[in-house]
Chain A
Amino acid sequence: MMGSHMTFPAETPPLATPETPLLRVEGLGKFYGARIGCADVCFDLFPGEVLGIVGESGSGKSTLLSCLAGFLEADAGRVLYRGRDIRAMAEPERRMLSRTEWAFVHQNPRDGLRMGVSAGGNVGERLMAVGARNYGSIRDTATDWLGRVEIAPERIDDRPRQFSGGMQQRLQIARNLVTGPRLVFMDEPTGGLDVSVQARLLDLLRGLVRDMGLSVIIVTHDLAVARLLADRLMVMKDGHVIEQGLTDQVLDDPQAAYTQLLVSSVLQV
């Protein structure tokens, strides 16, 4: 039903393969006057990979995520998505990308949902934004997605404000993933949720990442969440990436002084 609307413009290079990165970031920087938001950030993200960005508040991890997702204008460097520089892209094209191939899950579901629109409407809206018009099939797809994020079908006409925090977060995920994106940005997706609700969400996210082959960049200050979700970790401090590598290696054998401090400061449970 949606196939023709969901493809990226034809002139773009072929799909990323396991051998070529989906996203390549080169020397990315953002400055607030003399203050560094983030600087000299370089990494590749391959299809199906989950990259965790960890650091304390003020480390630049959210600034970096906003620059990558196009919410903030970077001041230096390049962000190549499937070989094309996002910073050089025209605004309508970038907006189309963020509706089709990209998704963004906010920490606060209210930032990613329309609170006055029903649950089904929230999911259907993103479908309609990419051209879906058939009401019946939009509703069917929305119902299917509510099920996939474990929201009962009879809640389809309820508004998000009638949902618990965990349900709102799951609804935001359904709204984001319904168009089958390739790259998902997540900003503290489990922040502010009870531990038991977090676990359910982590389990759900892991299943979706595996089944849909998603590439994910997830910002979190929670090292336990990073360990369970991320394949690779990037540690940030004062706007700079100070260490990166395989998640369990960075956490179990940290090399930088700051990472050692960060890891050793976590209470063991």
Chain B
Amino acid sequence: MIDIENLSKSFTLHNQGGAVIPVMAGAQMHVARGECVALTGASGAGKSTLMRMIYGNYLAASGVIRVGGLDVVRAAPREIIALRRETLGYVSQFLRVVPRVPTRTVVAEPLLALGRPQAEAFARAEDLLRRLNIPERLWSLSPTTFSGGEQQRVNIARGFAHDYPALLLDEPTASLDAANRAVVLDLIADAKARGAAIVGIFHDEAARALVCDREIDVTGFTPARVA
């Protein structure tokens, strides 16, 4: 479902003397349906960079990133938009929303964007919010005023609203209490069971051991010159 071949990336800092910083070379990975793969490596090794490249958020210098048949490296913006709407979900560490939009709508948005009826989208959103222990009295409020942990759970609910065939998870269990952590691990297991291909970053080693089938150490993708 997610196939990466010979991927490389460098940053050119035009405003700092045009310094070119190679950050990745020869990256390779394959994630099948129903499989969860953890990216590992020290902080700064390139886990988030790789994940952002898969999502099309960072441009690749060369190589191939195929997600469900689309090569993200060469795809037009609107193809990536369609990929993100239908195929590839992403739970980032931080919630980014339009202020004032109620939590229920924030979570239902991925389904509304797919043209699902509002009643169905809201029912799914409410089910997820309930599972993630967001009190019902908060559903009509904007999550921008919530605590960090609550925002993260809203973000997770939103990321799991649509059954994406492929999912990227950036620290989905960080800063959650035991009960909510268990709910998130269940959501991940459910997604795997329905055939989703998942790539995740988990500093929580126990969580990683529970849901991940394999680990890929991105240190192996560090370009020789900077290693």
Contacts and interface: CB of A to CB of B under 8 A. Distances in A.
B58 A252 contact: yes
Contact of A257 (B11, B15, B80): B15
A20 interface: no
Interface in A210-269: 210, 227-228, 231-232, 245-246, 248-249, 252-253, 255-257, 260-261, 264
Chain A contact-residue range equals: 20 to 34
Given A199-B98, A199-B99, A206-B98, A256 B77 contact: no
A13 B56 CA distance: 34
B147 to A, nearest CB: 18
B12 A255 contact: yes
Contact of B56 (A46, A228, A246): A246
Contact of B101 (A203, A249, A253): A203
Interface string A23-59: 0000000000000000000000010010000000000
Nearest to B12: A255
A202 interface: yes
Contacts, number: 56
Interface residues of B, number: 21
Contact of A264 (B15, B56, B100): B15
Interface string B54-79: 00111100000000000000000110
B86 to A, nearest CB: 12
A200 interface: yes
Interface of A is mostly: helix
A260 B80 CA distance: 22
A246 B77 contact: yes
B98 A203 contact: yes
Nearest to B79: A246
A249 B14 contact: no
Interface in A157-188: none
A228 B113 contact: no
Contacts of A231: 77-78, 81
Contact of B77 (A245, A252, A261, A264): A245
B112 interface: yes
Given A231-B77, A257-B15, A260-B14, A249 B98 contact: no
A261 B15 contact: yes
Contacts of A248: 57
Contacts of A257: 14-15
B33 interface: no
B217 to A, nearest CB: 24
A210 B98 contact: no
Interface in B4-47: 11-15
A210 B64 CA distance: 32
Interface of B: 11-15, 52, 56-59, 77-78, 80-81, 96, 98-101, 112-113
- Report the 5 A-B pairs with minimum CB-CB distance, sorted nearest first: A257-B14, A199-B99, A246-B77, A253-B58, A232-B77
Given A248-B57, A264-B15, 12 more contacts: A199-B99, A200-B100, A202-B98, A206-B98, A231-B77, A231-B81, A245-B59, A245-B77, A252-B58, A255-B12, A256-B14, A260-B14
18 contacts: A49-B78, A199-B100, A200-B100, A202-B99, A203-B98, A203-B99, A206-B98, A231-B81, A232-B78, A245-B59, A246-B56, A246-B57, A249-B59, A252-B58, A253-B59, A260-B14, A260-B15, A261-B15
